[in-house]
Chains A and B, each alone.
Chain A
Amino acid sequence: MDNEGILQGLQDLDGRQAIRIKIIGVGGAGNNAVDRIKLDDLGQVALAVVNTDTKTLSASPIQEKLLIGRSLTRGMSAGGEAEIGRRAAEGDEELIAKMVDGVDLVFLLAGLGGGTGSGAAPVLARAAEKAGAVCLAFVTMPFTREGERRRQQAEDSLAELRESCHAVIALPNDMILQQVDEKATVLEAFAVADEWVSQGVKAIWSMLFQSGLMNVDFATLRNAFRFRGGKTLFGIGRGEGEDCVQKALADLDLCPLLHLPEYKYVNKADSLIIHICGGPDMAMAQVNQIMDAVCDKFGSRQNTVIGAVVDGAMRDAIQITVIGATEVAAGAANAASARAAAQRRRMAAASGAAANAAARRPLPEAPATDVNRLPSKEPSASKKASQDEFDFKVDDQRGFFDKTEANLYQGEDLDVPTFLRRGIRVQP
Chain B
Amino acid sequence: MAQSRIVAAVEIGTSKVAVLVAEIANGRSLNIIGTGQATSSGIRKGHISNQREVCDCAHAAIAAAEKSAGAQVEGVYLAMSGAHLQGFADSGVASVSAADGIVREDDLRRARESAKMRDLPTGRLYIHHECCGYVLDGRRVADPVGMSGQRVETGYWHVHGDERITADYLHVINGIGLDVDCIVVSSIASAGVVAGEEEKKSGVLVLDIGAGTTDYALYRSGTIVRTGVIPVGGDHLTNDLAIGLRMNARYAESVKLRYGKAVVDANDKNDTVMLIGDLTIGDRPISRMSIHKIIHARLDELFTIVKNQLGSEISAQNLPAGVILTGGTARQAQICDLAHEVLGVQARVGECPQWVSEQSLRAPEFCTALGLLSEGFNAMRQRQSERSKSRWLGKLGGIFAR
Contacts and interface: CB of A to CB of B under 8 A. Distances in A.
A422 B232 CA distance: 17
Contacts of B243: 397, 399, 417, 420
A422 B293 CA distance: 11
Interface in B111-161: none
A380 interface: no
Interface stretch (A120-128, A234-242, A401-409): A401-409
* Contact-residue bracket for chain B: 20 to 34
B231 A417 contact: no
Nearest to B294: A419
Contacts of B301: 414, 418, 422
A427 interface: yes
B231 A426 contact: no
A400 B239 contact: yes
A428 interface: yes
Given A418-B297, A419-B293, A428-B244, A399 B231 contact: no
Contact of B246 (A401, A420, A428): A428
Nearest to B249: A400
> Interface SS of chain B: helix, strand, loop or mixed?
helix
Interface residues of A, number: 21
A414 B290 contact: no
B305 interface: yes
A92 interface: no
A414 B293 contact: no
A424 interface: yes
A397, A409, A424, A426: residue with the most chain B Cβ atoms closer than 10 Å: A426
B83 interface: yes
Contacts of A407: 45, 83, 231-232
Nearest to A409: B305
A397, A400, A401: residue with the most chain B Cβ atoms closer than 10 Å: A400
Contacts of B300: 418
Given A426-B245, A426-B294, A427-B289, A418 B45 contact: no
Contacts of B231: 407, 414
Contacts of A397: 243
Given A424-B293, A427-B289, A428-B244, 14 more contacts: A397-B243, A401-B236, A401-B239, A414-B236, A417-B244, A419-B297, A419-B298, A422-B301, A424-B294, A424-B297, A426-B245, A426-B290, A426-B293, A426-B294
Interface of B: 44-45, 47, 49, 83, 231-232, 235-236, 238-240, 242-246, 249, 266, 286-287, 289-290, 293-294, 297-298, 300-301, 305
Interface of A: 181, 397-401, 404-405, 407, 409, 414-415, 417-420, 422, 424, 426-428
